[in-house]
Amino acid sequence: MTPGSQINRLKEGGAIDRTRPLQFRFDGKPYTGFAGDTLASALLANGVALVGRSFKYHRPRGVFSAGSEEPNALVQLYTGDRAVPNLRATQVWLHEGLEAFSQNAWPGLRYDMGAAAQLVSRMLAAGFYYKTFMWPKRAWKTYEKIIRRAAGLGLPPEGPDGQTYESINDHCDVLVVGAGPAGLSAALAVGRTGADVVLCDENISLGGSLAWEVARIEGQSSTDWIGLASDTLESAGNVRILTGATAVACHDHNLVLLDQIVSTPDQPGVSRRLIKLRAEQVVLATGAVERPLVFPGNDRPGIMLASAARRYIRQTGVRPGRRAVIVTNNDSAYATIADLQSAGIELSVVIDIRDNVADGVAKLVPDGVPLLTGHWPMATRGRHQVLSIDVRPAGDPEASLTRYPCDLVCVSGGWTPSLQLYSQAGGTLSFDDKTTTLVANDAPDRLRPAGVAAGYFKLQECITSGHDTGVWAAGAAGFNPDSELAAEPVVDGQPVCLAAGTSIPVAVLLAASQKSFVDLQNDVTVNDLALSVEEGFQSIEHVKRYTTTGMGTDQGKTSNVNAINIVSELTGLPGREIGHTTLRPPVSPVLFGQIAGDAKGPLMTPTRRTPFHAASQRTGVVTIDSGDWIYPRYYPRDGETMEQAIDREVRNTRENVGIIDMSTLGKADVKGPGALAFLERLYCNNLQKLGLERVRYSLMLREDGIVLDDGTVSRLGDDHFLITMTTAQSWRVWLHMEKLRQVQWRDLDVRITSVTDHWASLAVAGPHARKVLESLDPSFDVSHDAFSPASVRQGVVAGLPARVFRVSFSGELGYEINVPAGYADALWDRVMSVGEPFGLMPYGLEALDIMRIEKGHISIGTEIDGRTTPGDLGLGRMVSTTKDFLGKSLLSRPQLQSDERGNLVGLVPVDGATPIPIGAMVTGATWAGQSQKSQGYVTASIVSATLVKPIALAFVNSGHRRHGEHVWAVSPIANESVEVCIVPSHFYDPKGDRLRV
Amino acid sequence: MFDLPERTPILVEELRAWRAGHCAASGVEVRECATRAVLQMEARSMLELERILKHLPPPNRHHVFDDIVLCRVGPVTVLALSDGLAPPELEKALEIGSDQGQLSLTDISHGVVYLEFVGAPVRQVLSGLVTADFRQGGFSAGGCLKTVLSGHSVLARCLDDETFEIQVDRSLCLSLWQRMEVALKRLL
């Protein structure tokens, strides 16, 4: 059954299901294909030759290959939130209702305005953007917009991606990448040992090149052998076969990323999956990609790889043209002849640029068809499809051109082993002069190439190589390998691919009237490579960056080796000295959605909730993300705005009493005989005299003398301390401490245990804080004399086991009640209950921030910003001069001790009313549109609810000596300038009287 | 004046909804343990640890004896778990005796939550979410190891082929469940 629209569908043949016709659309036009088709084969079946436009010149392009190496046929699937751009039509499996669109063309594919770029192509040579758009300077913003619009290929989905993706982990003993002859042999060899094997292939069926090669293995046809191998593997129970799964990256320790197509986008559920597979051993049977030949006019629709033409004929029963020409420099393309004949495609001529062809090969050319050896294709004709090719004898520029009409040009420039994964894993590549391509050299541990990827170009060699590599992998993974050969010698097979070496001289290509394309996707021509070399960019890495060859979604699968060969000829250096560019992951594009998997929206990153989260929610909290934590921001009441709520919370805490969830502070138990010595080295202040049940505010420095973090150190026992870390820095401090403990200070017997999650911490602050604590029936005396500031008590509070610290960040009398986290709910309810008569209200992060600024307390990220020293923060006197500690040596550097450094000071507006812009520069004069020398910067600014005026904290050069001086807080971005007076940073209760009541 | 309340579990509503909605169809039952006593013990060296602690399992294994489970989560680190004993009783039952000074003991009972997943598909679901090797041969009954589960640091224990226990920081428990729930619903 061949629906009438499929004018190029053969009546029989191919591994498609002709009983399942599928309707699809391309650029809005309806077509029909069959199950088993790719979008590319279906379009070819329907006679669609023009499928895309090239990147730079918008040249018409057709399907060029039949696999992941496709540089031309990039399409977008669907629209709106389901849109997926830049998919290779050769790897889009046809399904009912598929909607595909061409890219990079406006208003349409046939008539594309962008094609006007061809008219000025002389001005658009490689690197043109480095040399143009320089004048006039002011126009750059306009140029930039145009360049940005022109850059890129497809468009991202509109709004959140509507498809579902999955990102999962997996493990296996042996991973075999590629299910061609070598891969199948390897999988059979390993599978027999009982090892856990994963066999993956980018195609939806097994067999690789055997699916379209004519061969007999073990007395069977290649398709029968594939079927038998497939049945054997599937029934083994220890072999997992993943089809439609492309290995896109190979990282350290054999972590291989697989991009698996799970379902078509029209089906519910997961559409694509990223599998992070960790394999004990890896066999890379990744095969080879046929190289194009570089000749003038080699990019028109209808020009495709010879192997691709064979695949379309044999795998999908598609006739990719009616009248064909073969252009080659090697024997493998001659196998195409039989397939063209079987499909009823007329062969006009075989052009072999080599001077001689072996008799056995020449005999494959049918009688009546000219075989032109020693001839070069010099031009092609045809706008939206190739119509003819012009040929002349090699080395005779005066010879007249002979024109051969055609609508299909099958090209073959040799074969390039697919070694991207091998290279990523650390395998080295070398240039082989015989095959003029890169081949595998030294393999890394636990990974081996097999088959064509290992340099075995004949089918028998491939199968033997696959088997041997499988035996090696099984043994290396700890399984007893079967040493007998899996497959008998090939009875009757064709060479899979053979050496190539001859190419058209670069000088001829440069002199030709038509462009000779090296990289089809990026429109990189031989002239571009020559220009690059001429301008001094001779390293292949530089050539790549200057010309963009090898970039793009195909990552140069068809162009890289040709580029090396051409640069070799241009520079006169042998190919092995040219080297190769880095073959980076991913080998083929991966959707961002797959990388994210389920980690999107609210599940994007792990989030931490405090033990009081549920209680806060019951109180109507508005939260804010603070690092990993979901933190209480403020607690609005009765229609209050945020500002009103925060203002109320500050005033209530200052006048009555408030509570705030402090559980996010990092907490660690430090224990052991060496605990005190460890802390003495860790913190810059003296802790030697810290008594039992005492607490000390402490500073931790980096090795360079800069403040890393601040917090408290509490002594709970002779060798037992509890330290706190700021919420945002706790992970960094944790790593810092573990490194010191495990690596640098191994002489100390100390253990550090995180107890951040074990303790729920509720700070009670305000004039009535002690009354609230007393009402909670503590098991210890909480009077000022018995429980003095900077002390800690352990006992029972509110019926709960508790540690209570008399510390304050708000500047009010304060206690931090810590109870085991499972009792947080009870503590919250009991504190709220007993606190009600004293006007107790919860307050959030915003109110706390205001109160700490009023008090002049420093905060991580604003004042402790990775640049400040203790002296800058006004805490220089904390630094011990009598002990050694981390950061001491470098803190003594003159630059860190300079009087000219920025010091933390307070700022108030001279007019007493104008708010000071956050982040403003401190300067000597008002903003007049001219740059000024900065004297510092504002770190925090509020309108104080308590003081009823704007205040700010700032670092000002030599600020400690400039109290009373008038300067300007200038914000060019906000176009604001405020005259301010430098004052001490403690605005509220500077002597701390409210703490000591 | 105040009594000592029960410890508050985290996933009361979430697991109730799971049992009512998807538990049967997915074949996965989920339980939260919020009352366990957990002591983290750390010695300066493996030799010290082996000398002081009886019933010491090899690394990445757990031993069950009496009412106590010992999990060897690192070369010198062991977790002692008990559902029947309070932390002080647990410490006593470990019979560490006068050598305790060589071993730091920290009560982290309230800092961690245990989620138990029971059902035939659990291994497969967890395998996809963790970075460690959860295949049958790689992680069997008696195994315990620290790993990363959907971005969350966890301690996983294999109780039997169909029962796995995940220890996660209390603050991350709900976040982890939300990711697990998405994965488990794929079984439907």
The 10s digit of each residue's pLDDT in A40-91 is 999 999 999 999 999 999 999 999 999 999 999 999 999 888 889 999 999 9
Crossing angle of the two packed helices A306-316 and A335-342, in degrees rounded to 10: 40
Q: Which helix (H) or strand (E) holds A241?
A: strand A239-243
Tokens of A120: 């000025």
Q: What angle do CA A103, A104, A109 make, to 5 degrees?
A: 70
- Preceding omega of A71 cis (within 30 degrees of 0): no
E strand intervals along A759-825: 759-765, 792-797, 800-805, 814-820
A603 contacts B170? CB cut-off 8 A? no
Predicted confidence band of residue B1 (pLDDT cuts 50, 70, 90): confident
A751 contacts B42? CB cut-off 8 A? yes
Mean pLDDT computed over A776-804: 97
Q: What does pLDDT average to over chain B? A: 92
A755 contacts B8? CB cut-off 8 A? no
Q: How far apart are alpha carbons B136 and B129 in whole angstroms?
A: 15
B109 phi and psi angles, rounded to 5 deg: -55, -40
Q: What angle do CA A743, A749, A753 make, to 5 degrees?
A: 80
pLDDT of residue A857: 96
Nearest residue, CB atoms, B172 vs list A599, A608, A799: A608
A629 contacts B171? CB cut-off 8 A? yes
B108 contacts A610? CB cut-off 8 A? no
E strand intervals along A2-51: 17-26, 29-35
pLDDT of residue A918: 92
DSSP summary character for residue A399: S
Question: Which residues from chain B sit within 8 angstroms of residue A603, using beta carbons?
Answer: 175, 178-179, 182
Measured between CB atoms, does A629 come within 8 Å of chain B?
Answer: yes
Measured between CB atoms, does A758 come within 8 Å of chain B?
Answer: yes
Nearest CA in chain B to A827: B5
Task: Tell me how close the Cα of B65 comes to any Cα of chain A, in angstroms.
Answer: 25
Q: Are the C-beta atoms of A961 and A977 separated by less than 8 Å?
A: no
B106 contacts A671? CB cut-off 8 A? yes
How would you class A235 by CB atoms within 10 Å of its CB: exposed for 0-12, middle for 13-18, buried for 19 or more? exposed
Which residues 54-93 in chain B show a CB within 8 A of chain A? Answer: none
B169 contacts A757? CB cut-off 8 A? yes
> ipTM of this model?
0.96
Nearest CA in chain A to B102: A672
Task: Tell me how close the Cα of A78 comes to any Cα of chain B, in angstroms.
Answer: 25
Which residues 256-295 in chain A show a CB within 8 A of chain B? Answer: 269-270, 276, 278
Which residues 144-183 in chain A show a CB within 8 A of chain B? Answer: 166, 168-171
Tokens of A459: 């089918």
A757 contacts B8? CB cut-off 8 A? no
Q: Answer yes or no: is pLDDT of A492 > 70.
A: no
Measured between CB atoms, does A626 come within 8 Å of chain B?
Answer: no
A799 contacts B2? CB cut-off 8 A? yes
Q: Answer yes or no: is pLDDT of A376 > 70.
A: yes
- What percent of chain A is modeled with pLDDT above 90? 83
B111 contacts A755? CB cut-off 8 A? yes
Predicted confidence band of residue A489 (pLDDT cuts 50, 70, 90): very low
Q: Answer yes or no: is pLDDT of B31 > 60.
A: yes
A270 contacts B186? CB cut-off 8 A? yes
Task: Tell me how close the Cα of B20 comes to any Cα of chain A, in angstroms.
Answer: 22
Predicted confidence band of residue A488 (pLDDT cuts 50, 70, 90): very low
Residue of A363, A335, A365, A368 whose CA lies nearest to A351: A365
Q: Answer yes or no: is pLDDT of B78 > 50.
A: yes
Query: Chain B interface, mutation test: which of A168, A174, A718, most B Cβ atoms within 10 Å?
Result: A168
Q: Are the C-beta atoms of A800 and A750 separated by less than 8 Å?
A: no
Question: Which residues from chain A sit within 8 angstroms of residue B107, using beta carbons?
Answer: 758
Which residues 114-153 in chain B show a CB within 8 A of chain A? Answer: 127-131, 133-135, 137-138, 150-152
B131 contacts A610? CB cut-off 8 A? no
Nearest CA in chain B to A672: B104
Q: Answer yes or no: is pLDDT of A135 > 90.
A: no
First-to-last C-alpha distance (Å) of chain A: 96
Query: Residues A606-616: pLDDT tens digits?
Result: 999 999 999 99
Nearest CA in chain A to B169: A757
pLDDT of residue A220: 86
Whether the CA torsion B21, B24, B25, B27 is positive or negative: it is positive
Tokens of A7: 């004018």
Question: Which residues from chain B sit within 8 angstroms of residue A614, using beta carbons?
Answer: 8
B151 contacts A606? CB cut-off 8 A? yes
Nearest CA in chain B to A748: B44
B112 contacts A757? CB cut-off 8 A? yes
Question: Which residues from chain B sit within 8 angstroms of residue A599, using beta carbons?
Answer: 150-151, 179
**Cross-strand bridge partners of residue A88:** A74
Query: Residues A11-36: pLDDT tens digits?
Result: 999 999 999 999 999 999 999 999 99
Query: Residues A729-768: pLDDT tens digits?
Result: 999 999 999 999 999 999 999 999 999 999 999 999 999 9
Query: Chain B interface, mutation test: which of A242, A258, A608, A737, most B Cβ atoms within 10 Å?
Result: A608
Mean pLDDT computed over B118-133: 95
Q: Answer yes or no: is pLDDT of A642 > 90.
A: yes
Question: Which residues from chain B sit within 8 angstroms of residue A825, using beta carbons?
Answer: 5, 8
pLDDT of residue A969: 97
Q: What number of H helices and E strands is found in chain B?
A: 6, 10
pLDDT of residue A160: 87
A823 contacts B5? CB cut-off 8 A? yes
Find how far residue A583's CA is from the centre of its chain: 16
Q: What does pLDDT average to over chain A? A: 93
**Cross-strand bridge partners of residue A437:** A432
Q: Answer yes or no: is pLDDT of A499 > 60.
A: no
Q: Answer yes or no: is pLDDT of A979 > 50.
A: yes
A798 contacts B150? CB cut-off 8 A? no
pLDDT of residue A494: 54
Question: Which residues from chain A sit within 8 angstroms of residue B152, using beta carbons?
Answer: 606
Query: Chain B interface, mutation test: which of A256, A612, A758, most B Cβ atoms within 10 Å?
Result: A758
Task: Tell me how close the Cα of B48 comes to any Cα of chain A, in angstroms.
Answer: 12
Q: Which helix (H) or strand (E) holds A493?
A: strand A490-493
Q: How many other CB atoms sit within 10 Å of the CB of residue A216?
A: 15
Task: Tell me how close the Cα of B44 comes to any Cα of chain A, in angstroms.
Answer: 7
Nearest CA in chain A to B176: A606
Which residues 146-175 in chain B show a CB within 8 A of chain A? Answer: 150-152, 169-172, 174-175
Q: Answer yes or no: is pLDDT of A487 > 50.
A: no
B106 contacts A753? CB cut-off 8 A? yes
A to B CB pairs, distance under 8 Å: 130
Query: Residues A151-196: pLDDT tens digits?
Result: 778 888 888 888 899 999 999 999 999 999 999 999 999 999 999 9
Nearest CA in chain A to B182: A598
A599 contacts B150? CB cut-off 8 A? yes
Nearest residue, CB atoms, B104 vs list A602, A603, A671: A671
DSSP summary character for residue B4: P
Q: Are the C-beta atoms of A944 and A847 separated by less than 8 Å?
A: no
pLDDT of residue B99: 55
Q: Write the single-letter amino acid at A119.
A: L
- Say which residue the tokens 């300038």 belong to: A977
Query: Residues A110-132: pLDDT tens digits?
Result: 999 988 888 888 888 888 888 88
